[in-house]
Structure 1
Amino acid sequence: MKLKAFILSSLLLSSSNLSAAIMKPINGVINQVEPVIEQLKPNIRQPGDDLRKLELIDSAANLSTGLPVRLPIVNKLNEPVFVEVEVEQGFRAVERQWVILAEQHHQAKLAQIGAQIVNHKQYEGLGLSLVSFVVPPSYDSKTKLQALLSLDESALLDRNHIYQAQMRAQQGSLTKPRKPWCEIPVKVGMIDSAVDMEHPGFAAAQIKTQSFLPNQLASPSQHGTAIAGVMVGKHAQLTPRLTQATLYSAAVFYRQSDLSQGATLAAIVDALNWLVSSGVPVINMSFTGPDNAILAAAIDATTAKQVTLVAAAGNEGPAARPLYPAAYKNVIAVSAVNKEGAIYRWANQGDYIDFTALGVSVLTLQAGEGLGRESGTSMAAPHISAAAACLAAKSKATPESIYGQLEQLAKDLGEPGKDAVFGYGLID
């Protein structure tokens, strides 16, 4: 702890323009030791200057996952599937791959520049027809593609962006089990990683699974198991928020590194289409990424089917830009608090925050038959999804009426009324 503090303080205080090239290699270590810092911080009593150094260290610990600018993704046979790269605004995407609302004359123009059509899919549940394609390097720009295809700014064209899970490991002592939101049959969906179906905590759970990963690309099960564990997991020390749920689990995440996992826009749209077609009334989305025209259209199509969407607000800090899908107006954005009602220190803030729920040191199932604690807005979202699923089952309510009922249930925190930190307040 002292050695880490000394090294990071020296690096951070020596230059106000510390490069990402220096920080990325040590970021993985930072993320692993952050839970230890969190436990030790209450015992620290130091002069103001040292506390400022500690704040800088904390900021360093929340930097990006340290992924390389160009990252080949391989399947379980070690065969290449695609390459993800860093693109505009520091977000990530499949290299030179774009998605567009399908029209024949667009495809003809794409053929003229040597673009490769990856697939053409009809999404019956969403009522969308989309084409994915790879462009030559000279056309790898939204501006150039809009000009080529004679599109305006509102056209449904965007990169096949990568979205990230929003969870951190957290240590802590065990607490008493939480009460179920309801004990009636409900349906709820989640778009996440795979779930460890062999975990004894799911022995009594009804879970329907579907993978949307291509070409034998494996999905890790850590994140999805933790999210599913909140909603339907059962253990001597863990009571599910939904005791009679049928959970529809759409696996979209693949491994990027030991510390991170990503999901393509294309896989997320596939998952939304499956869940809508399955008649799921509430969908949990514990991931974040950029605003994307295709994702926005898929979200609109989903809510038009009277489906309530719940998403993690993001873990990039109070000064961070809005993240999506949470920041879309027709998605319930969930932030995280600890058991005392204090906001999670890495939670995004903004006018788009709707509600908060327990998201710090949340007791849940862990892949490999374990039980442990996780933190992040990812862990707060399934509490709200469970509540929404109960409301949907009891009243056959619309997304608008479910939102109104949640607003009535919320315990106001922070400034009176809806605010940028807690939204309308705590749902518990």
Structure 2
Amino acid sequence: MRPFLIASIMLVGLVADPAPAQLALPPVGNVLRDPIGAVEKVADPVVARAQRLAAQAETLAQQRTDRLARFVRRHSDVIEFDRSGAPARKGELLLLGGEAAMRDALRHAGFVILSQERLDSLDISVTRLGVPAGLSLAQAQALIDTVAPGAEVVADTLHFPAGNVRGKDQTAPAQSMMRAIATRVGMIDGAPANHIGGIMVRGFARGGARAGDHGSAVASLLAASGVRRLLAADVYGDDPAGGNALAIARAIDWLANADARVVTISLVGPDNPLLARAIVAGQRRGIVYVAAVGNDGPAAPPAYPASYPGVLAITAVDGRNRVLIEAGRATHLDYAAPGADMVATNAAGRRVEVRGTSYAAPLAAARAAAALDLGGDVRRSLDAEAQDLGPRGADAHFGRGLLCASCRTR
């Protein structure tokens, strides 16, 4: 039994390790003389590596929890946790659809109708509800379960960028060497700076469109990858509660109406029924959504919108084609793309180092747009060009392979 268990541990380690060839196998003679000892020598480093990876994953997950707690404390005037533990806009809930009688029941229970709007391109109606005085979001959600059990009411949960811009400014940005892509591409993020040409920008948060480093970096990677018709939706503005589900849904509605055929989203957050509805409505119009899996490690909750069915979920690799240790996860994984050991353009127009799955998603989106340019099926085209890494075929580390390996900007 003991050799079977050791061999099983060894097999699990080899499958989990994206670079098993780095393991040093014992000489054949040693295996013949002492098979159990020989297997243990191989199994020990595999187990040790698995333990290190598990510890790193737990650390990243805890850092995510701590970071969100600090964020909510810092902006406690406008942000609080909902009953699922997700940061959301304080004192507001969103009613999806709903008859007049349902709204009347909610008003009678102390809720205030703040506004009503319709996202025409998505065929979605949203009512913003102010929660009764003195109630937290969690308490208000529980109250709705009692007074309007049939109502679909959700918190306006927040989504955060999935990448960092860091390091010292470098030289001016390099010119794209990629073939020009005519397909219209949308991005949902912060606003890019106006020095990146050919972009239509619209704001969907308080303060309107405000250029930032993250959005500028994403836009510059799209431009460097050949995208020439870019629509940028800023869902942050100057609002501490920016990146909320309603702002993203409004952005999706605008991009659908503007005939964007590919939309890249380098933001991560919890599952939200409003966002899920918006994505499905856009997919019905033929829009391809590409999203980052986040940077909170494999022990973090699945990232959305990457985890929604049909969305292309993208992870990131470094310059040696290793999956980033901090790469998060989705309920499925489609492809990998470069996301580290490269540069992009910040809001000041300088090239800076970037790292994160945020920067892999736009590269994959550019390849999806290129496939549409040629009139091909997106998934079939991407599968054909994806470089198979790790175990043969689709796997949990790289999905169906690496896209846009030559797109890394240095």
Shorter chain as denominator, the TM-score bin is 0.7 to 0.9
Unaligned ranges ≥5, structure 1: 1-47, 74-81, 233-239
Q: Deviations over 1:146-185 (max 9, x none)?
A: 332122xxx64311001101112344999x9696553242
Change (3 A) 1:131 1:425: same
Q: How many correspondences in the alignment?
A: 347
Q: Deviations over 1:379-409 (max 9, x none)?
A: 10000111111112221x5xxx312221222
Contact 1:165/1:262, CA 8 A, preserved across alignment: no
Q: How does 1:157-168 map to 2 (within 5 A)?
A: 157-168=153-164
Change (3 A) 1:299 1:350: closer
Change (3 A) 1:305 1:61: closer
Shift of 1:71: 4.4
Match of 1:250 among 215, 233, 258: 233
Q: Residue 63 of structure 1 aligns to a residue in which SS?
A: helix
Q: Which amino acid in structure 2 is aligned with residue 131 of structure 1?
A: T
Q: Residue 158 of structure 2 aligns to a residue in which SS?
A: strand
Q: Residue 263 of structure 2 aligns to a residue in which SS?
A: strand
Change (3 A) 1:145 1:231: same
Contact 1:192/1:285, CA 8 A, preserved across alignment: yes
Shift of 1:220: 4.8
- Higher share in strand: 1
Cα distance in 2, alignment partners of residues 315 and 351 from structure 1: 15
Contact 1:231/1:386, CA 8 A, preserved across alignment: yes
Q: Deviations over 1:103-148 (max 9, x none)?
A: 2122111110121122111111111111111212167343432332
- The answer to whether structure 1 residue 416 and structure 2 residue 396 are counterparts is no
Q: Which amino acid in structure 2 is aligned with residue 63 of structure 1?
A: Q
Q: Deviations over 1:17-73 (max 9, x none)?
A: xxxxxxxxxxxxxxxxxxxxxxxxxxxxxxx9xx97xx7799369813363434448
Q: Deviations over 1:72-97 (max 9, x none)?
A: 48xxxxxxxx7011334542100131
Change (3 A) 1:323 1:56: closer
Contact 1:269/1:298, CA 8 A, preserved across alignment: yes
Cα distance in 2, alignment partners of residues 384 and 178 from structure 1: 19
Match of 2:247 among 259, 267, 289: 267
Contact 1:318/1:348, CA 8 A, preserved across alignment: yes
Unaligned ranges ≥5, structure 2: 1-47, 405-410
**What is the match of residue 121 of structure 1?**
117
**CA RMSD for the aligned pairs?**
3.1
- The answer to whether structure 1 residue 206 and structure 2 residue 202 are counterparts is no
Cα distance in 2, alignment partners of residues 404 and 180 from structure 1: 24
Q: Which amino acid in structure 2 is aligned with residue 83 of structure 1?
A: V
Cα distance in 1, alignment partners of residues 179 and 152 from structure 2: 40
- The answer to whether structure 1 residue 87 and structure 2 residue 78 are counterparts is no
Cα distance in 2, alignment partners of residues 228 and 123 from structure 1: 25
Shift of 1:195: 1.2
Cα distance in 2, alignment partners of residues 63 and 72 from structure 1: 18
Cα distance in 2, alignment partners of residues 346 and 60 from structure 1: 7
Cα distance in 2, alignment partners of residues 255 and 58 from structure 1: 32
Change (3 A) 1:129 1:349: closer
Change (3 A) 1:143 1:62: closer
Match of 2:335 among 344, 351, 355: 355
Cα distance in 1, alignment partners of residues 309 and 216 from structure 2: 28
Cα distance in 2, alignment partners of residues 249 and 312 from structure 1: 17
Change (3 A) 1:415 1:95: same
Cα distance in 1, alignment partners of residues 179 and 391 from structure 2: 30
Report the structure number with the largest CA radius of gyration: 2
Quick one: percent identity of the two aligned structures? Answer: 28
- In the superposition, the TM-score normalised over structure 2's length comes to 0.77
Cα distance in 2, alignment partners of residues 142 and 416 from structure 1: 47
Q: Residue 63 of structure 2 aligns to a residue in which SS?
A: coil
**What is the match of residue 367 of structure 2?**
387
Contact 1:312/1:335, CA 8 A, preserved across alignment: yes
**What is the match of residue 38 of structure 2?**
none
Q: Residue 186 of structure 1 aligns to a residue in which SS?
A: coil
**What is the match of residue 292 of structure 1?**
272
Q: Deviations over 1:255-302 (max 9, x none)?
A: 578xxx841111101100000000010001000000011111111101
Q: Which moved more, 1:308-317 or 1:180-189?
A: 180-189
**What is the match of residue 36 of structure 2?**
none
Q: How does 1:93-242 map to 2 (within 5 A)?
A: 93-103=88-98, 104-136=100-132, 137=135, 140-151=139-150, 156-171=152-167, 180-197=177-194, 199=195, 202=196, 205-214=197-206, 216=207, 219-232=210-223, 240-242=224-226
Q: Residue 78 of structure 2 aligns to a residue in which SS?
A: strand
Shift of 1:328: 0.6
- In the superposition, the TM-score normalised over structure 1's length comes to 0.74
